[in-house]
Amino acid sequence: MRDGYPLNSNDYKTLALAALGGALEFYDFIIFVFFANAIGQLFFPPEMPDWLRTLQTFGIFAAGYIVRPLGGIVMAHFGDLLGRKRMFTLSILMMAVPTLVIGLLPTYASIGLAAPLLLLLMRVLQGAAVGGEVPGAWVFVSEHVPARHTGYACGTLTAGLTFGILLGSMVATGVNTVYQPADVLAGAWRWPFLLGGVFGLAAMYLRRWLHETPVFAEMAQRQALAAEMPLKEVLRDHRGAVAVSMLLTWMLSAGIVVVILMTPALLQKIYHIDARTALVANTIATLGLAFSCVFYGVLADRVGAKPVLLVGSALLALCTYFFYTTLGTRPDLLLPLYGLTGFCVGVVGAVPCVLVQAFPAQVRFSGLSFSYNLSYAIFGGLTPIVVTLMLKNDPLGPAYYVIAVCLIGMLTALFVRPAPAVK
């Protein structure tokens, strides 16, 4: 093992390829949310109330999160027994094909109820794919670098996933700039999904150049792989790690889903900001998030994950409240406020560092995947629905939700164990 050594050229190559591939795949998963308003109008009856159409559209988006545990558990099981790289590559194909199909789906006007049902099926398949991708990527990069650089590796990979969101935001901004709203509804919304299929193939090609992790290769050589079903061992011996991992993932999901993914649509509905301006602001916020993921990851390596999570969660809560309460009277501050809030969301870059260090290598993929995906299915999946319902009573509902979950994240951080000492 190289725990005490600095990063070398192969480490940087692995991080770059993993982050770029993750960005292209995560684009496929989240591009849906940037066209939620158009999809809602096209895939549901025109006479449906606007709030119900929004609720059902975000409900289909949430379905991708709800099925994540199943895909994650299956891929993690084989990832712990057969190797990280194989599952890391398989997830791309499972993501690219449904994305391509969504771009070809007929709408409600053509096939009626079958349209939203087929859309739901494609989101389910995407959810199964991303259930193995995200935890698998964190395990993959963390096992390739020296232990004292785990935070940097996980932060960089998370930044790569975030660039997938940024890419989605930029593509959506471009579509809304080039086409008029009527043209988007007429068919321009399909192009980002068709492009996603091409991105998926590109990501699959990139991962041909990656190698199995040294940690897994050493365990296989020593015949030290899990002697029983990995998930069984996780649930029997690591329940505390599962609880901490799930609660921190809840905070991660609140920051990403509400502040980054839902806010462009909410800005249009609550503050009547046009789609292009909302998406430009989202691009700035997502760029801030990407850089701050690396910043918080490096900080976790230097001072430990616990203080980073405590301070970062408090800053995220404060910035979110200030963002939503200020826009009503100062919409001219949208760009700097959203950029600052996006940067504060970057505290989520320290979360995977905790998750990969919470489980031993033999069951790491299964433990991380089960905790992360189950939490995202419960909390991330319900978040769009809960926030939409909260909005019926208070336009500050999204801010209150994020603040509450940040407080839970701060309490959970108190139970984070320090990383094992580097030898």
Tokens matching residue 86: 């194989």
Cα atoms in the Cβ-side hemisphere of radius 13 Å centred on 184: 22
d(CA 228, CA 162): 35
Within 10 A of 10 (CB to CB), how many other CB atoms are there? 11
Q: Which two tokens stand for residue 31?
A: 């591009």
CA-based end-to-end distance of the chain: 10
| CA atoms of 321 and 341, how far apart (whole Å) | 9
Distance from C-alpha of 95 to C-alpha of 23, rounded to nearest angstrom = 12
**Residue 99 per-residue DSSP state:** H
Provide the pLDDT for residue 97.
Answer: 87
Domain ranges of the chain: 12-413
Burial classification of residue 110, based on how many CB atoms lie within 10 Å of its CB (0-12 exposed, 13-18 middle, 19 or more buried): exposed
Q: Which DSSP category does 225 fall into?
A: S
Task: Output the pLDDT for position 339.
Answer: 95
Q: How many helices (H) and strands (E) does the chain have?
A: 21, 0
Q: Say which DSSP state 228 is in.
A: S
Helix residue ranges per DSSP H, 50-190 = 50-66, 68-82, 84-102, 108-111, 114-142, 150-178, 181-186
Q: Both tokens of residue 297?
A: 């990851």
Strand locations in 253-409, DSSP E? none
Q: Could you tell me which CATH number the domain at 12-413 has?
A: 1.20.1250.20
pLDDT digits (tens, 9 = 90+) for 20-63: 777 877 888 878 888 888 898 899 888 888 878 888 888 888 78
Mean pLDDT of each 10-residue bin along the chain, 423 residues long: 62 78 80 87 86 83 78 70 67 84 92 92 87 81 81 89 84 89 91 88 74 61 58 85 94 91 84 83 90 94 92 96 89 91 94 90 84 85 84 87 95 80 40
Q: How confident is the model at residue 232, as a pLDDT?
A: 82
pLDDT value for 59: 84
Q: Tell me the pTM.
A: 0.79
Cβ contacts of 167 within 8 Å, gap of 6 or more: 23, 24, 27
Q: Which residues contact 333 (CB under 8 A, 6 or more apart)?
A: 326, 327
Torsion 259-23-30-181 (CA) sign = positive
Name the strand (E) or helix (H) holding 7: none
- C-alpha 274/C-alpha 229 separation (Å) is 52
Rounded to whole angstroms, the Cα distance separating 134 from 209 reads 19
Query: 56 and 43 in contact (C-beta within 8 Å)?
Result: no
Backbone φ and ψ of 307, nearest 5°: -65, -35
Residue 241 in tokens: 């790690």
DSSP H or E segment with residue 398: helix 397-413
d(CA 134, CA 72): 9
